[in-house]
Structure 1
């Protein structure tokens, strides 16, 4: 079994409809070679949804003539940034490798008894353009002056429970170096690309779509209000239920007035409500402010 990256650190960004074109034309990518792939993915769970309940994603992916089996745990973080465990290895065909699954930490304990009940739950099919970026990602003052980030642009759709929703997102995955490089690159892209942080994985979006249920967390701190707004926007675009756009705007307004924000963070927060159009799509002002605020809140949390 291969475990090349047991801990995945990535920043997920949702794009406005014009975002993919703006991204590919961005000076940081225009001169870089891109790899084009078609990915067909099937996610598995029990009929009772045991993996979704445990916030574990299990998929089989067909790409480049082979089948890969992947397990991911829930991401820890917010503002688009997540850190989670990941295991991936090739399998012989379109059937789950249950023996190897049983050896993984997520399938010890209570989940050890669900393996025989696993069945296909949803699919995500998309084209992927990917870039390997190393130049211009050095962090001033850092002991490690080099970073390697894989940038992927995914376009396609999620099909779950008879419902469909588009995929139009960017993932910045840290291959080597420091997480600070992810923020540096994302803020550089946001100067010209209409985007916003997203806190919802493809698997979690598919599960919510099938269940037609998008729960939003309670919020108290600034980071929690930003997370709630981000999830509400994710829910709005997948559900097309206007109440989620209202929830997002209410969360952003509450965030902008939050007494715990210091002056710089408050300026970023105050720019957010007007940075969304009537369809809940971000402009570049929203993307820059949301990323800068998420970065600042993450830094403050790290300092304790």
Structure 2
């Protein structure tokens, strides 16, 4: 069966109030000890599979989780074990999962790439969890006595993940989960939105199994998640509402893992970069395909735009400090201190992503991707009927921006120092970026042969212009810094010279792109 569950991290400042709601008279407190299994090189984890044996009160349950939508739904299989056998195996340190029970179950396809007998021999206990779980059943009418048509289990977990062979290595667990037990998805999302607003909860897609795997590797966070277009599930018969949900879902698969890492404390540039790209992709999608669904909320685009802007300034200054400055110093540049400039922003990526409007929007977007498309007015209209119009609109906008920039180039003798040209260049890059994101998402509906060459050129052109635009921004940062700190003059001059070479390479890629025939 599939479990539909949303998980949140709990801020310390809201914990007391949240616990008053979790620990009501009808709530139950259960101590749970879980043993998690995988191969030493974590083959199951790499396949997105979690395998555990957990004591839940007086019972021992073997559970495997796999697949799902990558966000809120996962395939789950539970098997109640014989208590006496489990205790006997524990006494001899021989407790191991029984994989033979999965041969004829719904979980079998997820294990199809494994030879179960060989896998069973290579399994080992990698880590354990020791958790106190407080559960409360919430029904639509507010009653906690019986399961009505709409019911949710709220589970607050507090405890530790412990390394399987070195119990000095531990990580704290403090999270709350909302699982739909029965009824409509709307009830799950309306409930979680209320709790999210009240207690400033932050969505997390990081499972206990993933955190255990990180503990084994000695890592705090999983690597940054880039866009995965192979996970886009569309075909030529897909309707307009279904297409809009599919492309939004694909963007969320990039945003949520990276936002989860930032919420958990990561300041890694890769997480910030991929999160920013995911947000920009989603903003583009909502703008381009707003007419494909009646359920798209125009407020989402405004929130995404604000979030992208706040992240961009911090990310560029942080990258300047951690990458550009060390590079310049290797070329003999004097040290320039950017710490005060970063502190002056006064808002961290964690604060930006923790913002309640952003978190509520994520919940609404997840709900949107899981909602019923058949209820929409355009449910019978194929997406392919309108894609050419969207692509042509964005392509024409790009060409107008390119023509405008060329006219400005012709009127200026100092291209690299003209603020109007710099703004026009950034705008051209924005249009090129939009067209790339849209084209990548719709290309599967046109066939690889028709789109491969064009996509290759648009990606190279967008990357080249993006690198040039970023370098221009970095040069401007040093130029402005030099007004109060003469040590920044070296960096301003070096980047200005480097831009001349970069501009030539960008022009080459752009010309190749403009000469390429469109695929639609």
TM-score normalised according to structure 1 size: 0.79
* Equivalent residue for 1:264, pick from 284, 288, 299: 299
Listed as ranges, the gaps of 5+ residues in structure 1 are 1-5, 139-144
Q: Deviation per CA, 1:150-191: give whole Å up to 9, x if none.
A: 110112232348654332222111111122221111111122
Query: Structure 1 pair 191/121, CA: closer, same or farther in 2 (3 Å)?
Result: same
Query: Structure 1 pair 243/25, CA: closer, same or farther in 2 (3 Å)?
Result: farther
Contact 1:154 1:170 in 2 (8 A): yes
- Structure 2 counterpart of 1:110: 114
Mapped pair 1:192 → 2:198: yes
Query: Structure 1 pair 150/111, CA: closer, same or farther in 2 (3 Å)?
Result: farther
Q: Deviation per CA, 1:51-91: give whole Å up to 9, x if none.
A: 1122211111123233221111133243xx22323223124
Q: Is the deviation greater in 13-22 or in 234-243? A: 234-243
Query: What is the root-mean-square deviation of aligned Cα atoms in Å?
Result: 3.4
SS in 2 for 1:168: strand
Question: Whose strand fraction is larger, Structure 1's or Structure 2's?
Answer: 1
Question: Radius of gyration: which is bigger?
Answer: 2
- Structure 2 counterpart of 1:216: 225
Query: Structure 1 pair 235/190, CA: closer, same or farther in 2 (3 Å)?
Result: closer
Contact 2:154 2:179 in 1 (8 A): yes
* Equivalent residue for 2:57, pick from 40, 56, 64: 64
Q: Is the deviation greater in 260-269 or in 7-16? A: 260-269
Query: Structure 1 pair 30/208, CA: closer, same or farther in 2 (3 Å)?
Result: closer
Contact 2:55 2:61 in 1 (8 A): yes
Mapped pair 1:154 → 2:157: yes
Structure-2 separation of matches of 1:190 and 1:167: 19
Contact 2:189 2:363 in 1 (8 A): yes
Structure-2 separation of matches of 1:101 and 1:157: 29
Contact 2:35 2:125 in 1 (8 A): yes
Question: By how many angstroms is 1:230 displaced?
Answer: 1.9
- Paired residue total: 289
Query: Structure 1 pair 30/109, CA: closer, same or farther in 2 (3 Å)?
Result: closer
Query: Structure 1 pair 134/225, CA: closer, same or farther in 2 (3 Å)?
Result: same
Question: Whose helix fraction is larger, Structure 1's or Structure 2's?
Answer: 2
Alignment of structure 1 residues 113-128 onto 2, 5 Å: 113-128=118-133
Alignment of structure 1 residues 114-263 onto 2, 5 Å: 114-136=119-141, 146-160=149-163, 163-211=169-217, 212=219, 213-218=222-227, 221-236=247-262, 240-243=266-269, 246-247=272-273, 250-251=276-277, 253-255=279-281, 257-261=283-287, 262=290, 263=298
